[in-house]
Amino acid sequence: MKAVPPPRRIAVPLNADVLHDQKKPIQSLLNPLLDLAENSDYLIAGSAGEFAVGAEIFQIPRFIFMGPGGGGDTVRMGIFAAIHGDESEGAEALVEFLQELERDPQAARGYHLYIYPLCNPTGFTARTRNNVSDKDLSKDFWRGSSQPEVYYLEREMGVLRFQGVISVHTQSHSKSFSLNVNSSAILSHALAKPVIQAAQRFPSDVASRSDGDLPPTSSHVVQRDFLTRGCELNTVPFELHLGIPRRALKPSQINGTVGALKAILDSYRALLSIGQNI
């Protein structure tokens, strides 16, 4: 069941003027990307929609990175972060990811990447897991939600028909990266190993840790709630849920996430190339 449209449904270009009245945490996060998009040949800044909370207007920012042609069909991939407002690590990693792609566009060869670094702007501003209506947005997709954030993101998935979906979350219970896969067995095994290996190339030192209250390190592949599960769309070839260890040091969180995302692009591109040559 699709989400309920919010009373105000306006999608406007996202730029410095639009962000002028936004909260400072949002400005601080997005301004580097807005500056980058102004002169980029690959990066486009936009908005999936806006909604009102009292007198304030919040945006669902969307950044599109149009990688160079790869010789075959272009793959549309959606990447989502900060669905929980208190998980800023994923949002910060996506900002770094886009900055690295701008420096090396060939890393996104054959892809159009639709990146949503701030899916829960009200929770991000308040530093709360849930949104301003105290809803856990990750549990509201395709369930007739009344939350505007869910409506706009469902609309994006419905219109753009992504071939791959990635959601980035922070995990408080683990000191290592984890990957949860919703796909065929072949795709799951082909993507999981290189992604985890890429994430763990960076030091996994844990800040302020108490080994007694942390579970053993584990890089696992399990099922959980996915953005596309139970949706009214055609089957998405794959969805990945990348878990960032909250207690890892910030450079490891950011670099590990960026490394994992690049590994996903490389691995899926290789799989498509094999398929085309069979």
- pLDDT given for residue 234 in this prediction: 64
pLDDT mean over 91-101: 98
Q: What is the DSSP letter of 110?
A: T
- Could you tell me which of 134, 139, 189, 206 has the C-alpha nearest to residue 167? 139
The answer to the question of residue 172 being in a domain is yes
Residues 128-140: pLDDT tens digits? 999 999 999 999 9
Between 71 and 263, residue with greater pLDDT:
263
Kindly tell me if the per-residue pLDDT of 174 is higher than 60. Answer: yes
* CATH, residue 242: 3.40.630.10
Q: Is the torsion defined by CA of 67, 70, 73, 79 positive or negative? A: negative
Position 210 scores a pLDDT of 31
Check residue 175 and give its pLDDT. 77
Write down the pLDDT at residue 213: 34
For 19-32, write each residue's pLDDT tens digit: 555 678 998 999 99
Range of the domain at 177: 16-40+50-67+84-277
State both tokens at 167.
């959601």
Residue 72 lies in a domain: no
Domain assignment present for 191: yes
Q: How many structural domains does the chain have? A: 1
Decide if 6 is inside a domain.
no
**Whole-angstrom Cα Rg for the chain:** 18
* Of 207, 201, 205, the residue nearest 217 (C-alpha): 205
Q: Mean pLDDT lowest for which of 22-31, 212-221, 230-239?
A: 212-221
Residue 214 identity (one-letter amino acid): L
76: helix, strand or coil? strand
Per residue in 36-95, pLDDT tens? 999 999 999 988 988 989 888 899 999 999 999 977 789 999 999 999 999 999 999 999
Any domain includes 2: no
Looking at every residue in the chain, the average pLDDT score rounds to 84
Does position 198 have pLDDT exceeding 50, yes or no? yes
What's the pLDDT band for 203 if we cut at 50, 70, 90?
Answer: low
